[in-house]
A and B are shown apart, each in its own frame.
Chain A
């Protein structure tokens, strides 16, 4: 087995106003950071999708003042993990865990997708906003 080696980098941050037009840019930022860590294409898609879901949730529920609010996506490597934090300025609407794909609405389905594609997801609510923390481990690949 060859372990995928992470090229660790300093914490990268992408801050933007809470406009739906910035959603694609936020996804691309996370995908580029993951690509720099030698993740497989499948893992990069998973990270891009999970970050997209977290940012969409931040746009919908975490930005009470609309485009006057700010969202940040921060990525860094720690040991064998790739860590992403998506921070907004509002309240999170859904509680973890959700486990029934049939009964959830699209936003609940978004959380389900994050949980399924990342190795760890946690949500921290504070006075000044909500932060979604997600981790994905570097996988070993067969020779």
Chain B
């Protein structure tokens, strides 16, 4: 797994490779640091990831719980196996979770949310 965090309209956590029992703690540390800085909107870019297990899923669920109802977690992936898994374990049922087919679509969505807050 490789994690890169960049700041766009919201923090983007770009994950490459596989997220599993071995790698999940490092991902959790990155996310916790972003949340501790007051970020309530986060975008996980899984476009270049091809595997996630229950430990990676736990990072997503833990993040959704920490963000609370005021926040939003965007998730970019077009990998049907990963999308099927998110549905299976119930991540997709969280009202604060949004799945996007591309990073561009996700950032457009977050720009609208952040823009509305500023109005």
Binding site for B on A (CB under 8 A): 20-21, 23-24, 27, 41-42, 45, 48-49, 52-53, 56, 59-60, 101-102, 105-107, 109-110, 112-113, 116
With A101-B90, A113-B85, A113-B88 as given contacts, are A24 and B18 in contact (CB-CB < 8 Å)? yes
What residues of chain A lie closer than 8 Å to B88, measured between beta carbons?
A: 101, 113, 116
**B-side interface size class:** 10 to 19
What is the predominant secondary structure among interface residues of chain A facing chain B?
Answer: helix
Is the CB of B113 closer than 8 A to any CB of chain A? Answer: no
Shortest Cβ distance from residue A97 to the other chain B in the assembled complex, whole angstroms: 15
C-alpha gap A134/B53 in the complex (Å): 17
With A52-B53, A56-B54, A101-B90 as given contacts, are A21 and B81 in contact (CB-CB < 8 Å)? no
The 8 Å CB contact of B55, one of A21, A45, A48, A56, is A56
What residues of chain A lie closer than 8 Å to B89, measured between beta carbons?
A: 101, 109, 112-113
What residues of chain B lie closer than 8 Å to A105, measured between beta carbons?
A: 58
Is the CB of B67 closer than 8 A to any CB of chain A? Answer: no
What residues of chain B lie closer than 8 Å to A53, measured between beta carbons?
A: 53-54
